[in-house]
Amino acid sequence: MHRLDGLSDTYSANIYCKRDDLTGFGFGGNKTRKLDFLLADALDQGCDTLIAIGANQSNFCRVAASYGVWGGMEVHLVLGGNRCENPTGNLRVDHLLGVTCHHVDSPDWDNWACEAEGLEKRLTASGKKVYRMPVGGSTPRGALGYVDAFSEIIADHSSLAVEFDAVIHASSSAGTQAGLIVGKAISGWQGQVIGVSVAKPQDEFRQDVLDLARATAVQMDAVVDPSSIVVDDGYIGEGYAARTAGCREAVEMFARRFGVFLDYVYTGKAAAALIDYLRKGRFAQGANVLFIHTGGNIELFE
């Protein structure tokens, strides 16, 4: 974690960046925190085969493949998109890991899930013990990764002598934000967790976060306050993975001023929201704000 001095000084605030793009396996990212819990569960159950679901350029699938290979498992990825002759970005890493990719020519997540369910049945019938994960690994167990991350944030309060007023991050499949919300409930922290939606409309996505946060909180004997869930869908643009002018500006700014690489699908849009909030005075002067860099910068190499 470090202070983004140029941005902080320009807007009279203290903006810190938590570098979850530097975590763990397979070029890192927020998915490593979820998979710390998911892979452990798979191995505890004696599973020998892993199924992960996502788009062709899924960060989750790339990290899941890395974890599965490390764990000695057979890995199958169900990927939305056509097979590529010359794979790039995440897909190139998937191929390098030697995992099996199953392509589904559809943008519909439900179609991916249906294919994964059928694949699980076939693999189980062949004698495999399968651990199948949903898009993004966003289950109550996976969300524990960001409950744990929130305890790190509380520890950072002490080590930095700074108490954050807000945490802002890209939010897509709900797991990261749900875990942070549960961590907030457990700790009693009074700040605001702001999820910048990069895929779904605010009301729909807020319900996704609430449902997953409640299911996760049950494991911790915690109670989630629905009013604590803040989702901003104002930076999606034309849709998921559609580039926006604000996103382009944020990616360039972070690279050229801080030497930090974002991506155009997730973190670029969250950073665009952060910059816009600062320009519009949405944070009080002198506020302490934490931007979580959730990874995904391998998208720059697509």
CATH code of 174's domain:
3.40.50.1100
20 and 76 part of one domain: no
- Give residues with Cβ within 8 angstroms of 47, minimum separation 6: 73, 129, 130, 131
pLDDT at site 136: 87
pTM of the model: 0.95
CA 81 vs CA 117, 192, 217, 238: distances in Å: 17, 36, 34, 19
Would the pLDDT of 200 be above 90?
yes
pLDDT score for 25: 84
Output the pLDDT for position 158. Answer: 86
Shared domain for 95 and 128, answered yes or no, is yes
pLDDT at 102: 97
Share of the chain above pLDDT 90, in %: 94
Average pLDDT of the chain is: 96
Query: Do both 162 and 259 map to the same domain?
Result: yes
Domain that holds residue 87: 31-137
pLDDT tens column, 90-138: 999 999 999 999 999 998 989 999 999 999 999 999 999 999 999 989 8
Does the pLDDT value for residue 54 go beyond 90? yes
Q: Total domain count for the chain?
A: 2
Radius of gyration of the chain (CA): 19
- Which among 119, 137, 155 is the end of a domain? 137
Last-in-domain residue among 122, 137, 152: 137
pLDDT in tens, 148-183: 999 999 999 888 899 999 999 999 999 999 999 999
Q: Are residues 133 and 35 both part of a single domain?
A: yes
133 and 143 in a single domain? The answer is no
Distance CA 80, CA 82 (A): 7
207 and 295 assigned to the same domain? yes
174 and 295 fall within a common domain: yes
- Choosing from 89, 107, 137, the residue where a domain stops is 137
Whether residue 58 lies in the annotated active site: yes
| Same domain, residue pair 297 and 199 | yes
Q: Are residues 67 and 10 in the same domain?
A: no
Q: For 191-210, what is the mean pLDDT?
A: 96
Average pLDDT over residues 11-19: 96
pLDDT in tens, 210-259: 999 999 999 999 999 999 999 999 999 999 999 999 999 999 999 999 99
Q: Please check whether residues 51 and 132 belong to one and the same domain.
A: yes
Task: State the catalytic residue, choosing from 12, 58, 159, 171.
Answer: 58
